[in-house]
Amino acid sequence: MRYDIAVVGLGYIGLPTASVFATRGKQVYGLDVSEHVVNTINRGEIHIVEPDLDVLVQAAVGSGHLKAGLKPVPADVFIVAVPTPFHKGKGRPIPDLGFVESASRSIAPVIENGALIILESTSPVGTTEAMREWILEERANLGLPPLEGAHYVHCPERILPGQMLRELVENDRICGGLSPEGAKRAHDLYRTFCVGEIHLTDARTAEMVKLTENASRDSQIAFANELSLVCDRANIDVWSVIELANHHPRVNILNPGPGVGGHCIAVDPWFLVDTAPDCSPLMQTARRVNDGKPNWVLQQVQKHAERFTRAKVACLGLAFKANVDDLRESPSLQIVEALADLDELDLFVCEPNIESLPDSLQRAHITAASAEDAISKADIVLLLVDHREFGDIDRELLHNRKIIDTRGLWR
């Protein structure tokens, strides 16, 4: 069977995208390397936490318009939505495009003339061109003829976990092609469900725009996080400072937190830095400020723990942001893992959006608990994520406990 669309990677971006297309009548094939993910989706169920996604997937699979599998199949359109992490280099992280290359080579044998190949993964500048070269090289290695009339486009996702389905439909999109015709074809495809404006440009510009968006956010958060350190040193409530400063008509300071996580803001600025390391000192400094904040939080816990023979710490939240199950690059998880290495502490950990604690926290002195149970047993309460469940906690439970509120939720 030849499908309208094949989505490569059924994670936080690929699965919502595949499901939305399927519920708009497209025949969609979802390709993933995980047999568990494939089987889960083919049952009409989901393997990630996202509001209303379960209903959408169930409808898409039930209608026969969405099917998942482990092997590539022919399609008119291929959408690549796989991770783009980084690995440690000398002095700074280096982009790791291994997943994009693997995905490109895996679909190369089934791509036919005239196909539209779209890269949605946030990537360093030039990745769309590299994807084309990997596909053509793989076909040559297999003795297959060059592709005629194929178009390559970068269409970066711009959606927020917790609001994916709404933003997928409503947000503006960018279609950056290696050819104007490719960008126009991608425009027509996304118009299937996108009600926002769709902007056409070239692939390199589209790649740079997505990196710019996230690097800008990272710099703004770095200012807030650095301000929180200054206010702490001066014994001033940073939340009050920001609230009052934001009454200025041209000031809009973000709120600080325990660091920056997720697969976008914590990663993408390094992709931009990689393009021109000598021209990006501000972006590199912002990354280091945000990467340093978890260590400051850790020091706060250690300072207060010295008052107790064996301190009991309630750690509330592991996800990188509120009301999701996504632990990728999470500063909250990083902090709790560092606390777990301190054998003189007993930890009671609550993350309401996951079924069990990560393997890194499976230790004798760590207990998974509800928020209320964790707080009731604790000497120190460390709020790391502003999940809605934590906002609803009875404040009476917090009395006579040292509170470290990294989100300002319980001001």
- The residues that are catalytic are 210, 264
Q: What string of DSSP letters covers 140-188?
A: HHTTPPPPSS-EEEE------TTSHHHHHHHS-EEEEESSHHHHHHHHH
Phi/psi at 89 (5° precision):
-120, -175
* Dist CA 158 CA 145 (whole Å): 35
* Dist CA 365 CA 384 (whole Å): 19
User: Do the Cβ atoms of 348 and 374 come closer than 8 Å?
Assistant: yes
Tell how far CA 389 is from the center of its chain. Answer: 21
Phi/psi at 319 (5° precision):
-70, 165
Residue 2's contacts (CB-CB under 8 Å, 6 or more residues apart) are: 73, 74, 75, 76
264: left (phi over 0), alpha (psi -120 to 50) or beta: alpha
* Dist CA 56 CA 22 (whole Å): 9
* Dist CA 400 CA 260 (whole Å): 30
Q: How are beta strands 116-119 and 75-80 bridged, if at all?
A: parallel
Helix 53-62 crosses helix 14-23 at what angle (to 10 degrees)?
50
User: Do the Cβ atoms of 257 and 239 come closer than 8 Å?
Assistant: no
- Cα end-to-end distance, the chain, whole Å: 58
* Dist CA 17 CA 20 (whole Å): 5
* Per-residue CA distances from 107 to 8, 101, 115, 136, 160 (Å): 9, 10, 11, 11, 28
* Dist CA 268 CA 175 (whole Å): 19
